[in-house]
Structure 1
């Protein structure tokens, strides 16, 4: 009798595992189909470097760059499974923003002129992806993040904050307060405020219009663009509090 019952155990266990797998895959796919979830995921992935990558890359740039391989491997793994394909796609785009951030802030942060070219390191992959018809969600996320970076850098050039950038990257953390105060004073001039308003309007427009679409990749793009306002706002708070 016991032997008879035990013969059903593997079958029941296998069924239970299959059910759990099916439940997880169904859950993952259903969430990936929701536009607002993709939007929030894009916002999160742009904001992550502010809280995690920035301090990591300053102390351990090599480790931060090495993590690119982990992100890439995870994105390819998720992308190979139908239920998590969209998450892998989105993470694939994030991988290149992480790699670019690690390279620039790890070894070239004192030279603002190199910031945008290094952040654009993933553009060849975007071109290839669009030509081959794969990675649309991740590529549009990457482009949204890059556009936001370009707008922020443009503001620094227009308001002549580049000298402050260079000095901040060269001094010890306990000596940054006067530099922050000088930068904030320059941002609060009529010219600084005017350009800030112009660029905020551009970011709001470029980030919001894609949300009128029902296609997920536009929501990833819009989330990445609009999250620039969140990140820049955090930097503004840090600068004014200094």
Structure 2
């Protein structure tokens, strides 16, 4: 006679917990994914939006379509949410850098185009990973823009946006010179700890949405830091010639 044993309640709980752990993405994966999305695609979008802003706008619709497909699958829903947050950032970037890039004071309002929808989603507890990424990216953009206003680089922003690549080079060198002023140093001392603090706070939270927020904030900080280091080093090399 074969004796079959029924699984106990404890066994069922362990099995369900294991299945949920396997199907739920680890938060750190969202951290690195968000950091990648906020830093790497911009190097593709930047030249594309100058050459053909309509193509960049069309690509944003493709991102939304892929995000919608992923959101319909329970296993990939959080990735669809993340991609949707990225799609909103891509759409805003396409609109601004394609047609409004010579107006620096419109940058942040255009980047915040999805903010009302994000607020509604947060209240309903829907799409939290994507909303976390979008808010982190938006905060990083706001801090970066505020820094440009602080160091007085806004006039160069307008001139560079309206000029050809050849004409923009000397203007860019003048804008880079603003990074070596005491005002720029004070601004960096104030803003860098704020961004780092926001990122560290989010990393201490257990939810993937917080880690997506942290990835977007810290990724923005990394890109800004690399840009600043490259700009200052190029400026120093030019002065030594």
TM-score normalised by structure 1 residue count: 0.84
Question: Cα–Cα, structure 1 residues 193 and 82, in superposed 2: closer, same or farther, change >3 Å?
Answer: same
In structure 1, C-alpha distance between the alignment counterparts of 2:62 and 2:80, rounded to whole Å: 12
Moved over 6 A (4+): none
Change (3 A) 1:218 1:210: same
- 1:130 is aligned to 2:126: no
Q: Does 1:90 align with 2:82?
A: yes
| Counterpart pick for 2:177 among 175, 185, 189 | 185
1:50-89 maps to which residues of 2 (within 5 A)? 50-89=42-81
- Residue 6 of structure 2 is matched in structure 1 by none
SS of structure 1 residue aligned to 2:178: helix
Q: For residues 105-131 of structure 1, give each alpha carbon's deviation from its aligned partner in whole angstroms, at most 9, with x where no partner exists.
A: 000000001000000000111022123
Secondary structure of the residue aligned to 2:96 is helix
Could you tell me whether the CA contact under 8 Å between 1:180 and 1:239 is conserved in 2?
no
| Cα separation, partners in 2 of 1:74 and 1:170, compared to 1, 3 Å | same
1:171-203 alpha-carbon deviations (Å, 9 max, x no partner): 111222222221222211111111112111111
Deviations 1:103-156 (A, max 9, x none): 000000000010000000001110221232211110111000000000000001
Cα deviation digits, residues 46-84 of structure 1 (max 9, x gap): 013321111111111001001111101100100110111
CA distance in 2 between counterparts of 1:199 and 1:60 reads: 34
Task: Name the one with the larger helix percent.
Answer: 1
Q: Is the Cα contact below 8 Å between 1:32 and 1:38 reproduced in 2?
A: no
**Contact map agreement 1:31 1:37 (CA 8 A) in 2:** no
Give the Å deviation of 1:90.
0.5
Match of 2:103 in 1: 111
Match of 2:213, SS? helix
Number of equivalences = 216
In structure 2, C-alpha distance between the alignment counterparts of 1:234 and 1:58, rounded to whole Å: 22
Q: Structure 2 length normalisation: TM-score?
A: 0.84
Q: Which residue of 1 aligns with 2:221?
A: 229
CA RMSD in angstroms comes to 1.9
Cα distance 1:136–1:77, how it changes in 2: closer, same or farther (>3 A)?
A: same
Separation (CA, whole Å) in 1 of partners of 2:223 and 2:127: 25
